[in-house]
Chain A
Amino acid sequence: MFPILEKTELSSTVSKFVIGAPHIARKRQPGNFIMLRLDETGERIPLTIVDGDAGRGTITLIVQAIGKTTKALCRKRKGDVITDVVGPLGNPTPLEYHGNVACVGGGVGTAELLPIARGLKELGNRLGTIIGARTKDLVILEGEMSGISDWLYVTTDDGSCGRKGFVTDQLKELLEGGGIDAVYAIGPLPMMKAVSHLTKHFGVKTYVSLNAIMVDGTGMCGGCRVTVGGEMKFACVDGPEFNGHDVDFDELMMRNRTYADMESAADVPLHVRQDAILSNKKI
């Protein structure tokens, strides 16, 4: 059992959790993720580790309530427990000195970008960070990011905060200005696809972190397979970071929609689910 020691609501749908997981806290590195199962009937989902404190034995997760499991997690409170948490999984993000780096975070991807941006800053890189979101309410971690970034830009689709438009609008300006040596982008797949498309045009190396459907997270199921540079890779053990220019985003987006029509069925009210469990029937 893994206790929720702190919970902070960052926006109407995004919450931050500090979870007691001492072994994971000792070993986690930027880019690592955990697999989490909320309870006995839960599914296993991957979540990126945003931060951690080895001394306290805690890890930090930032979660947007999107699907069944993330919604249920976001309803949990301080003092509640999570049945299973395992990690740290995946390869750490390859962090090195590039010079000038553009860090691009979209939506809750900004949270996943934070430890990477920190690591890049510690290596002496100069950071131009772009945070994008649909609307003002979904802009997160602006303060944390501005503390470590040399330049910070915010874009929203509706213009309610920062520049009206997409992260790629801002990134394009930076790239046109020249001097960007590498790009790290984490966010929704269409955003990472657009960023990679843009940076390929400018010939700037681009790291993306892929969120694929996973069951175990340790290379056992192959559900997270993705075509990178024409080869089959497993996001969980070969990634989650890949060269954005080599990733077949369209295929991954299609694969990630495999169970889209079943999401609503998973979200039926609790009492219906309980009846189904008791009678061992499908609903």
Chain B
Amino acid sequence: MKIPRQRAAEQLAGERSGNFLEVSLGLDEERALIEASRCLECNNPVCTEGCPVGIDIRSFVQLIMKEDYAGAVNKIREANYLPAICGRVCPQESQCEEVCTLGIKHPPVAIGKLERFVADYEMKHNLFVPPAAAEERAEKVAIVGSGPSGLTCAAELAKMGYRVTVFEALHAIGGVLRYGIPEFRLPRYILDLETERIKALGVEIRTNFVIGKTATIDELLGEWGFGAVFLGTGAGTPTFMSIPGENLSGVYSANEFLTRVNLMRAYAFPAYDTPVKIGKAVAVIGGGNTAMDAVRTSKRLGAEKAYLVYRRSRQEMPAREEEIHHAEEEGIEFLLLTNPKKILGDGKNWVNGIECQRMELGEPDESGRRKPVPVQGSEFVIPVQTVIEAVGQKPNPIIQATTPGLQTGKRGTVVTNESQRTSREGIFAGGDLSRGGATVILAMRDGKTAAAAIHEYLSSRSPANTIRPETEQPVPAAVYET
């Protein structure tokens, strides 16, 4: 293979660390065509097996070769309704590209970048045509949460002709894609456009609606007349380290910090009303993608020193390689094998430092990664005015607490079988709510699997059960909300 793997242009590190514009600019058409030509067109396309949602990668790459970009993106959309998002945030290096045959001897085909190229091309040239409407079915399905699993499940069911309503607790659609992933990785207009396309399938979206509070699951299945419910409420509850000083002002969960910046646009304060405080020096604790997002956001908000504090080594970091690399380029200082012990205050309840201890790697633990062991007497203090903890999330407990008989597992996850059924009839779940914390694409796979299982469930019910009187939604005569 003489043709090198094509690289997408990127905003220069020095420039981009001062703005929220997208880092990667994507492949242009010329480079995309060159990259597509690197595909070996294997008889046994293992890349598709490597894709959690089973995209027919070989076919879409071949369509790129024929310069049929609309055909290519529609090929992707058969398996994945959010191509512009997945082309940006999927960890391709550990999925399709990891198993790519070309990758045995050469760098694998840049499948993710090609996916993004065709999605962007379609967008730029306004080529989107909604799929032909399926014959409408009588059954209504409720989707709880508008993150990747919920949106995918909604799209799949709408394509089958079901009447789908998505309930979202926040005022904006997208779940973690909206409040968690920063604009420099996933611009808001991309998310808006992808969700518009889901609405174009006839999906109704109700924001400002907290299931478990505004209405319960049993009310949805009862008086609201939904035949099935899919729960995709994610893992939105932050966990804290339980170290001293966490309640000082200037200490954020990554969730709060990112929600303020991404959802509420605190970066534009006071044009937007939501404030965020960022010190001259910021320490972000954690080694996952959320930690990378938080530390890179801190830099963009003007932190002179942005530290990433992680108790293991770079090798054990769960974040995507690309994100780690981008963070390094942007001048993030990595304090590896460093464990925070205590957050220090200035006497006026504000953070002014973080006491850490050096670690060294010992024997592998249950996760297979070498366990960090503290080095006695190695304590030291980093002066910082902001601390952001990105040490994991767990599912929000509101639905579990208000849905009798819904079986929950470790750390509050909802237990499902392989077809995403829960312990309650007619209730399905997926994404981080059942996994505890995973990727966008795995959430989408769950949404897809659940859609198939919901279809099977609703089809298997005897007609006597499925034909319900058209129950009016229990809303007073005067309906004010839109």
CB within 8 Å of B: which residues of A? 1-3, 20-27, 37, 41-44, 54-57, 68-69, 83-89, 215-216, 218-223, 225-227, 232, 237, 251, 254-255, 257-259, 262, 265-266, 268, 273, 276-277, 280-283
Contacts and interface: CB of A to CB of B under 8 A. Distances in A.
B255 A220 contact: yes
B480 A27 contact: no
B217 to A, nearest CB: 14
Contact of B259 (A41, A216, A273): A216
A222 B242 CA distance: 13
Contacts of B466: none
B273 A41 contact: yes
Given A219-B397, A255-B249, A277 B271 contact: yes
Nearest to A69: B273
Contacts of A280: 268
15 contacts: A2-B481, A23-B481, A41-B272, A42-B273, A55-B476, A68-B273, A218-B236, A220-B255, A220-B259, A222-B256, A237-B397, A251-B247, A255-B349, A262-B270, A277-B268
Interface string B205-245: 00111100111000000000000000000001110101000
Given A57-B475, A282-B268, A20 B398 contact: no
A23 B215 contact: yes
B380 interface: no
A39 to B, nearest CB: 9
Contacts of A220: 179, 236-238, 255-256, 259, 396
Contacts of A83: 171
A57 B478 CA distance: 7
- Secondary structure call for the B interface: loop
Contacts, number: 166
Contacts of A281: 271
Nearest to B256: A221
Nearest to B19: A280
Contacts of A84: 171, 207-208
B271 A273 contact: yes
Given A43-B273, A223-B256, A254-B249, A218 B210 contact: yes
Interface residues of B, number: 51
Interface in B267-313: 268-275, 277
B476 A221 contact: no
A169 B221 CA distance: 53
A160 to B, nearest CB: 34
A259 B266 CA distance: 12
Nearest to B477: A57
B474 A26 contact: yes
B381 interface: no
Given A273-B270, A282-B269, A251 B349 contact: yes
- Secondary structure call for the A interface: mixed
Interface in B434-482: 474-476, 478-482
B171 A37 contact: yes
A257 B249 CA distance: 8
B249 A222 contact: no
B260 interface: yes
A86 B242 CA distance: 31
B264 interface: yes
A41 B265 CA distance: 8
Q: Pick from B209, B274, B277 the residue with the most CB of A within 10 Å.
A: B274
A183 to B, nearest CB: 26
A221 B255 contact: yes
Given A215-B256, A282-B271, 6 more contacts: A41-B273, A42-B273, A68-B273, A88-B214, A215-B274, A220-B179
Contacts of B268: 276-277, 280, 282
Contacts of A222: 237-238, 240, 253, 255-256
B246 interface: yes
A244 B349 CA distance: 21
A57 B476 contact: yes
Contact of A262 (B208, B213, B264, B269): B269
B481 A21 contact: yes
Nearest to B216: A27
A57 B480 contact: yes
A22 B237 contact: no
B275 A262 contact: yes
Q: Pick from A2, A68, A218, A254 the residue with the most CB of B within 10 Å.
A: A218
A268 B269 CA distance: 11
Q: Pick from B214, B253, B259, B273 the residue with the most CB of A within 10 Å.
A: B273
B123 interface: no
A166 B381 CA distance: 45
B169 A218 contact: yes
Interface string B139-183: 000000000000000000000000000000111000000010000
B277 A259 contact: yes
Q: Pick from B255, B349, B476 the residue with the most CB of A within 10 Å.
A: B476
Nearest to A262: B275
A282 B19 CA distance: 12
A148 B284 CA distance: 52
